[in-house]
């Protein structure tokens, strides 16, 4: 069996649609947008706008690192390159938890939760969501096992149709709203900082995956060029679509009635049916369900590559699992083990809380895990510039200031998760986040004790395609 991922599998648009499929705009409209309106009402577009600013700043970090480092571990390689191997291990664990939660919570449980009420024979059964959950679970396993090419082909087709449909529906809804159009949705509209922070968690989660293409950088053509461009294009397309869809849903529903948006089952489908009839609504349902599926495949691509890199560095998985299939060139051992973990978390969360609440709690955990990773990577960037690139102060300033807005926005989202400390079922999510961070610290200590100093220095660097020597100094 080979121990290297296949090279030159896809190019610019394969990378772009990996990111867009991971973001899954239609699925976000059916899930996170509904959650956000429960916190901030008509101000959901404002929160998305706030998230765009923060995520764009975060992508500056991705953009710079992607032009320098190609590594399947993505963020943990970035953090290790600047802040060192111990922070690399910690961030590798958190990113692993992030994508695990995104898969089980968003791609699987939200999929089952959205589809479940639409099938009367299953809706009346408290366990009726379980067979629905195995639709994305099965598709994810089959496509990931068969390699990157079929996965990317699926996401390119699905995401293209999804983006076009959402843009057209949004514009038509805005036109139909007529005199109801207003600037109120782009203001805080009297919401508290706590509610804005909680809503920000989910609006930023709506962009999770825009940087996921970095985990495919060992497999794409000309990764240092195409990965950067893919991030830029995907961010622009999805940012515009989110502003369109969130605003059109708010004004289409009615600002004075927005309080009932998040208490209505599948309000987006209801809204489209009201304005365009059942045929368009059915098309929207199918596109939304496929959005969850495409998201799961894109997340699975990132998750399997992250796991492969962790195994290659003998972190979390043994090195013996860092192999690829002779025929399909997929990290098949990692894929099977990770799939079993995803199934276990899906069933545990869904059986305990139900698919929608379970998905909400799990995605809150994966969201905060990702925000911590991004903050670490943001701080890693100027350190990398000084330590490795030997930059002078004038070159370090943009590396420090570029991601600053992202750090502030992500810190605000973390604040919103814990202040005030949630009660009821939502407290489980907050305690789970604390447990994940503590587990990450313990894992880092265990790896540090187990590995020699020389082995520690290789973390995040195995098979890494770094910058050419003649590019290292730019003073």
DSSP string covering 293-304: HHHHHHHHHHHH
Cβ neighbourhood burial of 255 (10 Å; 0-12, 13-18, 19+): middle
Q: How far apart are CA 203 and CA 413, in angstroms?
A: 10
Number of Cβ atoms within 10 Å of the Cβ of 442: 11
What are residue 220's DSSP bridge partners? 10
Q: How far apart are CA 206 and CA 248, in angstroms?
A: 17
- Fold annotation for 12-468: Amino acid/polyamine transporter I (1.20.1740)
Which alpha helices (H) appear in 313-392, and where do they start and end? 332-353, 355-387
Q: How far apart are CA 436 and CA 370, in angstroms?
A: 12
pLDDT tens per residue, the chain (475 residues)?
566 788 888 789 889 999 999 888 998 888 888 889 989 999 999 999 888 888 888 889 988 998 888 888 888 899 999 999 999 999 999 999 999 999 999 899 999 998 999 899 999 999 999 999 999 999 999 999 998 888 888 989 999 999 999 999 999 999 999 999 999 999 998 888 878 887 887 888 788 778 888 888 888 898 888 988 999 899 999 999 999 999 999 999 999 999 999 889 889 999 999 999 999 999 999 999 999 899 899 999 989 999 999 999 989 899 999 999 999 889 999 999 999 999 999 999 999 999 999 998 998 898 899 889 999 999 999 999 999 999 999 999 999 999 998 898 888 888 888 988 988 988 999 999 999 999 999 999 999 998 887 778 878 775 555 444 444 433 3
SS3 324: strand
Q: Which two tokens stand for residue 34?
A: 């509904």
CB 366 within 8 Å of CB 98: yes
What pTM was computed for the model?
Answer: 0.85
Q: Where are the domains of the chain?
A: 12-468
CB 375 within 8 Å of CB 410: yes
CA distances from 271 to 113, 251, 253, 281, 285 (A): 18, 11, 7, 9, 12
DSSP code, position 421: P
User: What is the per-residue pLDDT across 418-474, written as a single tens digit (0 to 9) for each?
Assistant: 988 988 988 999 999 999 999 999 999 999 998 887 778 878 775 555 444 444 433
User: What is the per-residue pLDDT across 131-182, written as a single tens digit (0 to 9) for each?
Assistant: 999 999 999 999 999 988 888 889 899 999 999 999 999 999 999 999 999 9
């Amino acid at each position: 069996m080979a121990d290297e991922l296949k090279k030159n599998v896809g190019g610019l648009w394969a990378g772009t649609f990996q990111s867009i499929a991971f973001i899954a705009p239609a699925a976000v409209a059916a899930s996170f947008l509904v959650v956000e309106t429960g916190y901030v009402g008509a101000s959901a577009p404002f929160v998305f706008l706030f998230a765009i600013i923060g995520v764009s700043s975060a992508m500056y970090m991705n953009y710079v690192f992607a032009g320098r480092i190609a590594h399947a571990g993505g963020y943990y390689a970035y953090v290790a390159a600047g802040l060192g191997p111990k922070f690399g291990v910690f961030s590798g664990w958190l990113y692993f938890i992030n994508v695990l939660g995104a898969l089980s919570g968003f791609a699987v449980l939200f999929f089952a939760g959205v589809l479940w009420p639409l099938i009367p024979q299953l809706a009346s059964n408290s366990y009726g969501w379980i067979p629905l959950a195995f639709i994305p679970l099965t598709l994810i396993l089959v496509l990931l096992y068969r390699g990157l090419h079929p996965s990317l082909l699926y996401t390119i087709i699905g995401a293209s149709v999804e983006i076009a449909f959402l843009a057209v529906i949004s514009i038509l809804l805005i036109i139909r709203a007529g005199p109801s159009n207003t600037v109120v949705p782009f203001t805080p509209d009297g919401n508290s900082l706590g509610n804005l922070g909680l809503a920000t968690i989910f609006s930023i989660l709506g962009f999770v995956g825009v940087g996921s293409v970095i985990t495919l950088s060992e497999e794409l053509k000309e990764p240092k060029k195409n990965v950067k461009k893919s991030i830029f294009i995907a961010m622009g397309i999805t940012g515009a679509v989110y502003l369109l869809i969130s605003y059109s849903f708010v004004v289409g529903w009615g600002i004075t009635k927005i309080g009932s948006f998040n208490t209505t089952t599948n309000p987006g489908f209801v809204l489209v049916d009201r304005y365009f009839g059942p045929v368009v609504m059915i098309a929207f349902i199918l596109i939304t369900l496929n959005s969850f599926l495409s998201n799961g495949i894109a997340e699975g691509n990132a998750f399997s590559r992250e796991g492969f890199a962790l195994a290659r560095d003998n972190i979390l998985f043994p090195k013996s699992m860092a192999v690829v299939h002779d025929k399909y060139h997929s990290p098949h051992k990692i894929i099977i083990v990770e799939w079993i973990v995803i199934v276990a978390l899906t069933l545990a969360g869904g059986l305990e809380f139900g698919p929608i609440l379970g998905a909400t709690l799990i995605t809150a955990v994966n969201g905060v895990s990702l925000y911590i990773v991004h903050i670490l990577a943001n701080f890693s960037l100027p350190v990398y510039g000084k330590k490795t690139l030997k930059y002078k102060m004038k070159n370090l300033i943009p590396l420090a200031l570029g991601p600053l807005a992202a750090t502030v926005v992500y810190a605000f989202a973390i604040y919103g998760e814990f202040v005030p400390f949630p009660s009821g079922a939502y407290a489980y999510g907050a305690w789970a986040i604390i447990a994940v961070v503590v587990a990450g610290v313990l894992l880092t200590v265990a790896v540090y004790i187990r590995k020699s100093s020389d082995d520690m220095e290789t973390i995040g660097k195995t098979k890494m395609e770094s910058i050419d020597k003649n590019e290292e100094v730019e003073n």
